[in-house]
Amino acid sequence: MTQDQLLYASLGLPLLALVLNYLFSSSPNLRDTTTVVVASFLLYVNVSLASLVFSGERVASELFEMVPGFKIAFEIEPLGMLFALVASSLWILTTIYGVGYMRAHHEENQTRFFGCFAVAIFSALAAAYSQNLFTLFIAYELMTISTYPLVTHHGTTEARNGGRVYLGILFSTSIGFLMLALAWTYQIAGTLDFQLGGILADAYASERVSTTQLTILLALYAFGIGKAALMPIHRWLPAAMVAPTPVSALLHAVAVVKVGVFFVLKVSVYVFGIELLHHSQISVWLCYAAGISLVLASLVAMTKDNLKARLAYSTVGQLSYITLGAALATPNSVIGGGMHIAMHAVGKITLFFCAGAIYVATHKKYISEMKGLGRQMPFTFGAFLIASLCIIGLPPGGGAWSKWFLATGTVERALDGGQTHFYFLTAALMISSLLNIAYLIPIPMQAFLGKPDVPTEADAHGHQSAHGHHDSIQQHDDHSNQEHSSGEAPLACVIPLCCTALGSVALFFVAGWIYEILLPITQK
Amino acid sequence: MIEHLPILQVVVPMIAAPVCLMLVNRRLIYLFSLAVCWLSFAISVALLGQVLDQGMIRYEIGNWPPPYGIEYVVDPLNAFVALFVTGIAAVVMTYAPKSVAVEIPEAKQHYFYALFLVCLTGLLGIALTGDLFNIFVFLEISSLSTYALISLGNSRRAPLAALQYLIMGTIGGTFFLIGVGLLYQMTGTLNLLDVSMRLRELALVDEEGVYYFQQTRTLRVALAFMTVGLAIKMAVFPVHNWLPNAYTYAPNVVTSFLAATASKVAVYALIRLIYTVFTVQFAYDLLPMRFELIVLSLIGIFAASLAAIYQTNVKRLLAYSSVAQLGYMILGVNMINPSGLTGAIVHMFNHAIIKGALFMVVGCFAYRLGSVQLDDWRGAGRRLPWTSFAWVLGGLGLIGVPLTAGFVSKWILLMAFVSNENWILAGAMLISSLLAVVYIWKVVEVVYFSEPSPKVLESKEAPWSMLVPTYVLITVMIFFGCHTTYSAGIARRAAFMLLGVPVE
């Protein structure tokens, strides 16, 4: 296949999955098998694409002009390719996991569920391949819309409220700030095409824009890209946790949030250009905003007893690492940020898979109820432990490397021109990692070493009312409490989470390769 | 034949209207009107093609050369307007019979078809004629038929709404006529292009080549009267109060057609008046019209969007939304740059499709549930999935989400505001889009996340004869959200033509 064909095959396969989903909706087995097959094809296509892109070939294609002067066009660069690879490989595992999870839960509307999933993957890929801000923006918005039905899948009042926050924050930031930022960028630069070295650099060099204006523009981007969940616009992410766990896993640990931080990195590298950000100092405030966000989010995560909520806040914190990488704008920090997209994706999806598996097997979603579960579910909690290491940044988790490069970035900035205050950010990274340990490691530890509480009927009841905002899943699945009371979750759930846990370790050893492939984006 | 297209466009529905009354069989009337609507659409497509090929067409009626006779002038702008007016008419007419059967008393149904065609005639006439008095005549033709169409509604309040509109509409029409009279007094002609040339003669050019006008009080008054007259027709903010009632109590088919076309044609007339007849220099230098229209539109956008949020009657909600959306068009018209004008024109087109589709969705709900109260739509997502989903899609278009036509017009308008460095307008437009999210999503949540209401429980999916035309419009809306050669492309050509600059 030619390069163009590969590119469009990569974009078309998720849509094919969508169509096949609806065609075979009457036969769930056939439907889910085709999705897995299509997803595998997609991975194959993406690997072929990646081998082209990483060997330095230019894969680009223009689709059509949507509005006079603004076209939908794709050009794959290393960062986008890496993101696409992560998203497409995790899609296969999530589909398998999703089948296990959704069926164990007897969820309704599974066809719509997997259909929307495919559209979300499509928009993630379109975002990854986009050649200009316009295309990226459209893919970004499409993703918001396609994931809304997933977030509100249960159709309950709680789902509605979660969906309201989700859509409200994501739409208001993207329409209110991001669209304005795009229009302004076009006004300044005369183009929205991504360019290594940044499209705003010329305007800045010729003093057509002031630093104040650029700072405001950067703020419009930073807060307009709501999916990057920089505090204080992170609230949609915990709200999205009302979704079934496969959604939280792939979308709110990988696709949706990563599109956000990917957007931030693209803006930093290809719109402003790291040279400009570095020399004009306009992103210093963003470094601190991200620094504060990552420490605060970790602190909030510690207070959450609901496992998914804790993981959601952990995600908020980890996304801020990537935003920090983009804002620091040194070669190492940008590579660290890009790398963390992959590392965090694999680590966090494992944690969510585990959370879902625990829920499927035991119907427990509060950490305080999970003592002693490790003996019952050794694989799940083992995977949880390994993935935790990845998130924390301890070897042999892949996260060690990305955090290392980010820390190096802060030190570089600190040494550069005597801006020693950047050491505060180095400290923030360290503190945050310690906090990560504090909120993640106790979970598997208590599961393996703790003794299960033997709750009386009344206790269990009291606990429920203490956590007043109970998920609706609880209600219509209580009947299956008995049959799952012992052992691991279904194999379709356990195998994917073991795979991703192993993946997070494997990434530790291939970090050098990732560094190599990301290196070109830091060189003008 | 081909050279007579401009007049055929208006005359075909005009002659067909009385024929409707002569036919006896209701089925036959429907088929006949349907054929006429689609024929008009075909004519408008041919006409637009001709204009895009050959440039402006001037058609002398009865071979009387202007200024003695009436002349029809067709250029990319009004051919484009005629295209979407007839297009919407054709789709709405296809959709109509079932909805008409339940919403209009049997004895009055044949009037509906006749009046619909008369109204279409009026709107097309306003669009195509090159004569000021003729514009007034067609304005009255369309208005009179509209009053009657509104009063066909089943609701007892429909005649009252029609009366309210009648009073406002008559004031508007009269104001317009006064303006025409004053203009005639000053220039001695009624032909648009002629008036425009005479006005230029009245203007003096100073040393720096800038136009300025002397003795212009009469002209100013004329412009003011005509603008206010059209503003009433368009339902610009302070004179909008006839619109919510009219749209709410008219039969759904009528509302779909009116909401999609009537106000747009008035916007067209305003654009024509400002850009072709009076010229921008006159209209905007001598009257503080630009500032006033911008302020009024802004107030209108926010006030009407906020009002829409609090409505419990879905038709009224959409009616207020129409007032708000109209504000965008006026803002675009007042940008006086190609981008703003393109945005205004393309938003006329896109909004016609979107609002037409949404009111048709309301019609589908009303057909099954017999109510347009939001409360009765609770949980309809389960019983009327296709109808409900059509609302979501149409709503996304209204919000202006990418890949829908609404996004295209908002993007172009945004670029226009930003290129004028008009940050207030840019911000206002984006914030008001968020208000649209609120009022659209309010309905979505009720439809999908509530326990079904009793009416929903005993209903089923809307009939295909209504759903298919609705989805045709939705598809068109998505098509023009992705491919804009025939929407934004033509609008751009029209904008450059109006501003008298060559297309870039």
Whole-angstrom distance, CA of residue B405 vs CA of residue B486? 12
Amino acid at B262: A
Contacts of B156 (CB under 8 A, 6+ apart): none
* Interface with chain A: mutation pick from B441, B451, B486, B493, highest number of A CBs within 10 Å: B441
Whether A456 shows a pLDDT value over 70: the answer reads no
pLDDT digits (tens, 9 = 90+) for A205-264: 888 888 888 899 999 999 999 898 888 888 988 888 888 888 888 777 788 999 999 999
Whole-angstrom distance, CA of residue A63 vs CA of residue A139? 14
Pick the most confident of A410-424, B117-131, B180-194, B440-454: B117-131
Residues of B in contact with A145 (CB under 8 A): 396, 401
Is it true that the peptide bond before B244 is cis, omega within 30 degrees of 0?
A: no
What value does the mean pLDDT take over residues A402-407? 90
Amino acid at B259: A
Identify the band that residue A475 occupies on the pLDDT scale cut at 50, 70 and 90.
very low
Identify the band that residue B212 occupies on the pLDDT scale cut at 50, 70 and 90.
low
Nearest-5° angle of CA B288, CA B236, CA B322?
145
Phi first, then psi, for residue A22 (nearest 5°) are -75, -35
Pairing between β-strand B57-60 and β-strand A70-76 as defined by DSSP bridges? unpaired
Cβ–Cβ contact B429 with A under 8 A:
no
What value does the mean pLDDT take over residues B79-87? 94
Q: How many CA atoms lie within 13 A of A98 on its CB side?
A: 34
* Nearest CA distance, B374 vs chain A (angstrom): 17
pLDDT digits (tens, 9 = 90+) for A304-358: 888 888 889 999 999 999 999 999 888 889 999 999 999 999 999 999 888 888 8
pLDDT digits (tens, 9 = 90+) for B134-153: 999 999 999 999 999 999 88
Whole-angstrom distance, CA of residue B175 vs CA of residue B239? 13
Nearest beta carbon to residue B433 from set A138, A175, A186: A175
Whether A460 shows a pLDDT value over 50: the answer reads no
Q: How far is CA B483 from CA A71, B435, B458, B469, B478, in A?
A: 10, 27, 41, 20, 9
In the numeric block, which tokens belong to residue A56? Answer: 């330095």
Whether A459 shows a pLDDT value over 50: the answer reads no
* Nearest CA distance, A42 vs chain B (angstrom): 24
Nearest to A346 by CA among A150, A238, A156, A504: A504
Calculate Rg over the CA atoms of chain A: 22
The reported pLDDT for the residue numbered A480 is 43
Identify the band that residue B209 occupies on the pLDDT scale cut at 50, 70 and 90.
low
Q: What percent of chain A has pLDDT over 70?
A: 93
Identify the band that residue B267 occupies on the pLDDT scale cut at 50, 70 and 90.
very high
The reported pLDDT for the residue numbered B504 is 59
Identify the band that residue A476 occupies on the pLDDT scale cut at 50, 70 and 90.
very low
DSSP-assigned states of every residue in B338-394 = HHHHHHHHHHHHHHHHHHHHHHHHHHHHHHHHS--BGGGGTTHHHHSHHHHHHHHHH
Is B434 in contact with A171 (Cβ distance < 8 A)?
yes
Identify the band that residue A70 occupies on the pLDDT scale cut at 50, 70 and 90.
confident
SS3 state of residue B188: coil
Residues of B in contact with A167 (CB under 8 A): 437, 441
Whether A479 shows a pLDDT value over 70: the answer reads no
Whether A484 shows a pLDDT value over 50: the answer reads no
What value does the mean pLDDT take over residues A269-277? 88
B339: closest chain A residue by CA: A68
> Can you say whether the dihedral through the CA atoms of B368, B370, B374, B377 is positive or negative?
negative
Q: Are A315 and A257 in contact (CB under 8 A)?
A: yes
Identify the band that residue A468 occupies on the pLDDT scale cut at 50, 70 and 90.
very low
Q: How many CA atoms lie within 13 A of A491 on its CB side?
A: 0
Is A180 in contact with B396 (Cβ distance < 8 A)?
no
Q: How far is CA A411 from CA A305, A416, A464, in A?
A: 35, 8, 47
Whole-angstrom distance, CA of residue A117 vs CA of residue A317? 25
Identify the band that residue A420 occupies on the pLDDT scale cut at 50, 70 and 90.
confident
The reported pLDDT for the residue numbered B322 is 93
What value does the mean pLDDT take over residues B169-180? 94
Nearest beta carbon to residue A66 from set B426, B434, B482: B482
> Alpha carbon B415 to chain centroid distance?
23
* Nearest CA distance, B488 vs chain A (angstrom): 7
Least confident among A502-516, B281-295, B342-356, B475-489:
B281-295
The reported pLDDT for the residue numbered B77 is 92
Count of beta carbons in the 10 Å neighbourhood of residue B77: 26
Whole-angstrom distance, CA of residue A439 vs CA of residue A433? 10
Residues of A in contact with B417 (CB under 8 A): 183
CB pairs under 8 A between A and B: 74
SS (H, E, C) A210-254: CHHHHHHHHHHHHHHCHHHCCCCCCCHHHHHHHCCHHHHHHHHHH
**B192 class by beta-carbon count within 10 Å (0-12 exposed, 13-18 middle, 19+ buried):** buried
Give the ipTM of the model, two decimals please: 0.89
Nearest to B439 by CA among B332, B313, B346, B335: B313
Is it true that the peptide bond before B338 is cis, omega within 30 degrees of 0?
A: no
Beta bridge partners of B72: B59, B129
The reported pLDDT for the residue numbered B455 is 84
The reported pLDDT for the residue numbered A370 is 82
Nearest beta carbon to residue A138 from set B402, B412, B492: B402
pTM for this prediction: 0.90
The reported pLDDT for the residue numbered B275 is 87
Is A176 in contact with B434 (Cβ distance < 8 A)?
yes
Whether B288 shows a pLDDT value over 50: the answer reads yes
Is B415 in contact with A142 (Cβ distance < 8 A)?
no
Q: Which residue has the higher pLDDT, B15 or A278?
A: B15
pLDDT digits (tens, 9 = 90+) for A354-383: 888 888 888 888 888 888 888 888 888 888
Is A138 in contact with B418 (Cβ distance < 8 A)?
no
Whole-angstrom distance, CA of residue B12 vs CA of residue A171? 46
